[in-house]
Amino acid sequence: MRSTRRVLSVSFVLALAWCAVCVGPAAAHPHMFVDAKAELVADAEGRVTGLRVLMRIDELTTLYVLEENAIKSVAQPLTQAQSAKIGAAMVTGLATYGYFTDLRIGDKRLKFSRASAHNVRLEKGKLAATLILELEAAAKIDAEAIKLSLYDPTYFAAVSTIAPPTLPTQMARCASKLVKFRPTLLDSATLSQLSALSREKTPDDPQIGAKFADRSYVSCHD
């Protein structure tokens, strides 16, 4: 395993792009928990142009982010300035980790040209935001299915996809489904490695989080 203490800054990067000193004792990965849901965006021709991804993080991490941004209460709505600051830091931090988003058509992974965070808010003690991801080029859907996985490659954060992707009206001929991760699919060596990791350590496998990912599929028919 590699020892890489994460550099902290006074922003959302502290938590969502890996806080090295979150509240509580060191323990096995993961240290942060995210609920996520995606919506595909399409142009008039039905080509995929991007994604909207709702992310909602756990209460403990939310408290850490608020504290580092001098926000004293989860009971009060965020100001416009607070939302903008946290959202900008979120985009910057997640860029290093592919925005927790692996979108493919067939085996080809699609690249994003632009990302922005919108509607950053507090929902029942949890920090939530909508991440808008724009593709470099519109992707035509043929016979191959769209594959979408939302996960942190390092598995510092456990990302749970809460529903299949929502589809726009331009994709009325398509259907989506969600296949949840099953712990029985993991080998004992992977579990042993993760159980030994503190917050200051990262796994040897830079894509270990993919093993824990929920998988979504979108298939289209004429």
- pLDDT by 10s per residue, the chain, length 222: 444 334 333 344 444 443 433 333 334 568 899 999 999 999 999 899 999 999 999 999 999 999 988 998 898 999 999 999 999 999 999 999 999 999 999 889 999 999 999 999 999 999 999 999 999 999 988 777 899 999 999 888 999 999 999 999 999 989 999 999 987 767 777 777 777 766 666 667 778 889 899 999 999 887
Sign of CA dihedral 43, 171, 109, 204: positive
- Model pTM score: 0.84
Residue 29 confidence (pLDDT): 63
Predicted pLDDT of residue 168: 96
- Please tell me the distance from the alpha carbon of residue 30 to that of residue 104, in angstroms, as a whole number: 25
Q: What phi, psi does 7 have (nearest 5°)?
A: -80, 130
What count of Cα atoms within 13 Å lies in the side-chain half-sphere of residue 15? Answer: 27
